[in-house]
Amino acid sequence: MKLPNKFITFKESSVGKFVIVLDCLKDYDLSVFKLYKKLVTNKSGIFKTVDEFIETLDYLYCLGKIEITNEGVVHYVKND
Number of H-type helices and E-type strands within the chain: 3, 3
- Number of other residues whose CB lies within 10 A of the CB of residue 66: 22
CA angle 63/66/5 to nearest 5° reads 50
Per-domain residue ranges for the chain? 14-76
State pTM to two decimals.
0.84
Q: What is the pLDDT along the chain (80 residues), one digit of tens a residue?
A: 788 888 888 888 888 889 899 999 998 999 999 999 888 866 556 888 888 899 999 999 999 999 999 999 999 998 75
Helix, strand, coil tally for the chain in percent (to 5) = 45, 10, 45
